Structure 1
């Protein structure tokens, strides 16, 4: 009996030791697998797909390793065109090589997550940072209009915590202004804050279905254009404001009443170059901003600021911050408009207003859910003015951005 217990105990200890050994060498296994995979014909076969795929411009490209590769992006974002450029086992060096060799086809957006296999393979922090910066610069060099977003490396096991947190801290500090940063890391941590939460990964590396749903939630506003870039489209005017010395009689009639009185002179002096259109344009603008609109000033300015942010219209944002303050919005509330309806503190009707602006921006349509939320407090006329206001300021944003209207003196932008 004692001998039997000893045998069973020995077996249990052996099994426990083997399990601990496997856990300890999990990183080494991943490292070996990544290295072997990158040298395999299967890896090369995957790369050849990018050479023969049709060259569609636009859409969102997802770049990365197996975590990206396994993402069902077309199902997660069915409303837009997505391209999965993830490659199982890839590293920042491998990704840089294939970007330089094969390039991209000028997508609208690129979402990059890379580096976890680099850590398994023993890449230095300096080399990982250097490669990621080179990748982002290479993409911008090919297509300056492409929006590039670098996503943080996700948590893994506790043994990777220090290295991952160091990389995630340094990366955004090094990125150029035209490259965006999305910090996913803290959202995937477990309760102790030391490893990836078990509901998001069952091997401390790859994601579960819940992990991909969380990822979608965190980047949805970036993918679906619900977030502005925070920068002006042009830094020089394409159509310059007409100088007072060059005013025609019609331009003088249009501009004299606001000369030196309004903080929005540049837009008026620019529109004055087509003064007949400007005078007719102002009739509708006076409805949107005037007493005939059924929206209260606070709600109107929330809509306009959200449109300005979505459209990267810094002139519109700067001017309407002034109006928004006059309508009682605090500085904190104005900044929250950049975040959108998910920001804390909005009332139900205010969340619905921001959602309406987002949906009209994305789809030229207010969803049934948002419409019903607005209809709880709004009349038919108010609902119409919501659409009219968002539509008006989309046109204004298009004009301001395309003409290159610059901020007036003393007016702060984004």
Structure 2
């Protein structure tokens, strides 16, 4: 099995437990709660884990927010790239988290299934197909060949291409962190139930 398709044991205990308010501080705790509300969960386990390094977490949060939701690429395309990287990395946490929030950006159930099938699946626009093909190549080759780059440039500006490569690389990095630390998936918040904590 290739390293990118290696399955992380799902029942493993987290290697670093998500922090409580005393571990991560009040400001970080509030940021985690806000993120959970936006995602339809309690405070995300990824955030609660990263927040154990308080300053690093705040810096990462600012950086990540500049990519999503604050990037210049359309949110639908951003979510398609994130979902594709999460699928290729077999990162259930990342994939499930973004399936929950992608619907608000126009990503429907049929799109999620097509993301799993890849850029050659029927139904993508030429721009989406070029973006997803680039995401695949960045994952598999850690590079873009000239043909993929030329195709991408027919649809995206140079600045958008920079953002796309950083976006894909960032979610590859997060998948590595999630896998290595055995971060458990978040549970969707039940309607009418207030999050604990």
Give TM-score, length-normalised by structure 2.
Answer: 0.85
Task: Name the SS of the counterpart of 2:53 in structure 1.
Answer: helix
| Structure 2 unaligned residues grouped into runs of 5+ | 190-197
Q: Match for residue 273 of structure 1?
A: 52
Question: What does 1:381-396 align with in structure 2 at a 5 Å threshold?
Answer: 381-396=159-174
Whose helix fraction is larger, Structure 1's or Structure 2's? 2
Q: Kindly indicate whether the alpha-carbon contact (under 8 Å) linking 1:267 and 1:400 is maintained by their aligned counterparts in 2.
A: yes
What is the deviation of 1:349?
A: 1.3
On the 8 A contact 1:311/1:397 being kept in 2, the answer is yes
Query: Which structure dedicates a bigger proportion of its chain to strand?
Result: 1
CA contact (8 A) 2:32 2:48 kept: no
- Checking the alignment, whether the CA contact within 8 Å between 1:298 and 1:327 is kept in structure 2 is yes
Q: Is the 8 A contact 1:233 1:401 kept in 2?
A: no
Q: Secondary structure at the match of 2:72?
A: coil
For residue 37 of structure 2, what is the aligned residue in structure 1? Answer: 261
Please say if residues 69 and 75 of structure 2, whose CA atoms lie closer than 8 Å, have aligned partners that are also in contact. no
- Structure with bigger RCO (C-alpha 8 Å, 6+ apart): 2
Alpha-carbon distance in structure 2 between the residues aligned to 1:284 and 1:257: 14
Work out the CA distance in 1 between the residues paired with 2:95 and 2:155.
Answer: 27
- Relative to structure 1, the CA distance from residue 299 to residue 241 in structure 2 (aligned partners, 3 Å threshold; closer, same or farther) is same
Q: Quick check: 2:134–2:148 contact (8 Å CA) kept in 1?
A: yes
Larger Rg: 1
Q: Spell out, residue by residue over 1:171-197, the C-alpha distance to the aligned partner (whole angstroms, 9 max, x if none).
A: xxxxxxxxxxxxxxxxxxxxxxxxxxx
1:242 is aligned to: 19
TM-score computed with the length of structure 1 as normaliser = 0.42
Q: Which residue of 2 aligns with 1:300?
A: 78
Deviations 1:268-295 (A, max 9, x none): 111111112111111210111133x220
Q: Check whether the contact 1:266–1:405 (CA below 8 A) recurs between aligned residues.
A: yes
Aligned counterparts, 1:277-356, within 5 A: 277-291=56-70, 293-356=71-134
Quote the offset at 1:234 in angstroms: 4.0
Once the two structures are TM-superposed, the CA of residue 261 in structure 1 deviates from its matched residue by 2.7
Q: Among 2, 26, 29, which residue is 1:252 paired with?
A: 26
Can you give the 5+ residue segments of structure 1 that lack an aligned partner in the other structure? 1-107, 110-144, 146-224
Matched, 1:379 2:153: no
| Alpha-carbon distance in structure 2 between the residues aligned to 1:258 and 1:268 | 6
Query: How far apart are 1:339 and its partner, in Å?
Result: 1.0
Relative to structure 1, is the Cα distance of residues 319 and 405 closer, same or farther in structure 2, using a 3 angstrom cutoff?
Answer: same
**1:13-412 alignment runs, 5 A limit:** 108-109=1-2, 232-235=8-11, 236-244=13-21, 247-248=22-23, 251-259=25-33, 261-262=37-38, 263=41, 265-291=44-70, 293-410=71-188
RMSD across aligned positions (CA): 2.0
SS of equivalent residue, structure 1 residue 299: helix
Partner of 2:192: none
The size of the alignment, in residue pairs, is: 183
1:254 CA displacement? 0.8
CA contact (8 A) 1:271 1:278 kept: yes
Query: How far apart are residue 232 of structure 1 and its match?
Result: 4.9
Contact 1:356 1:366 in 2 (8 A): yes
Distance 1:349 1:377 in 2: 6
